[in-house]
Structure 1
Amino acid sequence: MKLLFLEIFTDRLLLQPISIKYKENIFREFTEEITTYMHPRPPQSISETELFISESLLKIQNGDDLILVILKKNSQEFLGCSGIHKINSKYPEAGIWLKKSAHGSGYGIEAIAALKDWAQSNLDYEYLLYPVDRANIASRRIPEKLGGQIFREYEQTNLSGKVLHLVEYRIACARAKQSI
């Protein structure tokens, strides 16, 4: 697969591989508020964002992860990032973050549904894992709308030192459901 050239379109969105050209957007929008319920912490400098992008591109090139920017299809406005980690495993992990001004517009479910459709067509997996903090009700709606079921709950300390109370959803691959 040539993941560095991938484009996924939805009615309103374009998902494409992360790029250094979005470093200012990511640095500006990946704030402490956005990362409240996430493992990463906000970058302290633009060089941290550049390092994240470089590492993400290497993981894409190696076929380990798929890290994408989310853009409005009609205007190319940057909305956030999404991705699937460990794409060659039976249990890849999906995730997303959107900038504050994009919250509440349905972009999250639209992007994750598109990623799930892409994964079903291109990956050999049983479940997409979708961990989310128990208190993050808006983000919990995404896997629930996609038929995700809670598999386990656990605590994890994020890189800002906050303890997250994670609920891990499993979103079954349609092919896996059909073969059961």
Structure 2
Amino acid sequence: MDLSSLEIETERLRLRAYRADDARDIFDAVTPEICEYMTFNPAQSVDEIRELGRKWLVLAAEGREVAVPIREKASTRFLGMGGIHYRKHQRPDLGIWIRADAQGQGYGREAIVGLIGYVRDVLREADVLYVAAEENHRSRRISESLGGELCGSDIVQRPCGPLYPGVIYRIALS
């Protein structure tokens, strides 16, 4: 299924599949602080984000994953990124990051709830996986608040820097 037309609205947020004009906002928001537990480092240029974005567009069209900018509905302010990925597992896994100055306001959880609704209602999946670094308690709380059950472990790979032990949650969508 082509994921490039994904669009989701929640109470405060608008999520939609990545478009080329999102690159600058992504570049400006990705800081070393954001990347602490992530599988990527900050890009060195907007062009690096644009190149990555071209790959995201192909993957979304192929139905393998979709990168999802998260914006405030009222102001269109860029808040972060979410994603639906079919990588290591038979079921989709979800990911999220929220820019540093917007954390702690419930945007991450609200975005994940929106993605879960899409996976359930459009993709017709019965459950999703949510992987978090073991020490990333904010991220883990999102899954736990949605009834996520620990179902495995993983290693959070980084391009450089330390590896982190990770945990895998299964969230039932029924």
Q: Tell me whether the two structures share a fold, i.e. TM-score over 0.5.
A: yes
| Aligned residue number for residue 167 of structure 2 | 167
Q: 1:50-109: per-residue Cα shift (whole Å, max 9, x none)?
A: 11111111111111112111010011111011010018x741110001111110010000
Provide the TM-score with structure 2 as the length reference.
0.92
User: Structure 2: which amino acid aligns with 1:5?
Assistant: S
**C-alpha displacement of 1:163:** 1.1
1:69–1:78 Cα contact (<8 Å) kept: yes
Residue 97 (1) aligns with residue 113 (2)? no
Contact 2:3 2:65 in 1 (8 A): no
Within 1, Cα distance between the matches of 2:82 and 2:154? 22
Identical-residue share of aligned pairs (%): 36
- 2: distance between equivalents of 1:42 and 1:139? 19
> 1:60 is aligned with what amino acid?
A
CA contact (8 A) 1:82 1:96 kept: yes
Q: CA deviation at 1:3?
A: 3.1
- Give the whole-Å Cα distance in 1 for the aligned partners of 2:16 and 2:34: 21
Q: Counterpart of 1:125 in 2: which secondary structure?
A: coil
Q: Does the aligned pair in 1 maintain the 2:91–2:127 contact within 8 Å?
A: yes
Unaligned runs of 5+ in 1: 175-180
Distance 1:49 1:61 in 2: 18
41-50 vs 97-106, greater mean Cα deviation: 41-50
Structure 2 residue runs of 5 or longer lacking an equivalent are none
- 1:134: Cα distance to partner? 1.1
1:151 & 1:3 partners in 2: Cα distance?
27
Residue 113 of structure 2: aligned partner: 113
TM-score, structure 1 normalization: 0.90
Q: Deviations for 1:21-58, whole angstroms, at most 9, x for unmatched residues?
A: 12111111111110100111211222211111111111
Q: Count residues in correspondence.
A: 173
Amino acid at match of 2:58: L
Q: Are the equivalent residues in 2 in contact too, given 1:90–1:127 (CA < 8 A)?
A: no
Compared with structure 1, are the counterparts of its residues 140 and 70 closer, same or farther at alpha carbon in structure 2 (3 Å cutoff)?
same
Distance in 2, Cα, partners of 1:158 & 1:104: 24
Partner of 2:148: 148
Where do residues 119-138 of structure 1 align in structure 2 (5 Å cutoff)?
A: 119-138=119-138
Show structure 1 runs of 4+ deviating over 3 A: none
Aligned to 1:38: 38
Shift of 1:2: 5.3
My pick for the range that moved more, 50-59 or 117-126, is 117-126
**Aligned CA-pair RMSD:** 1.6
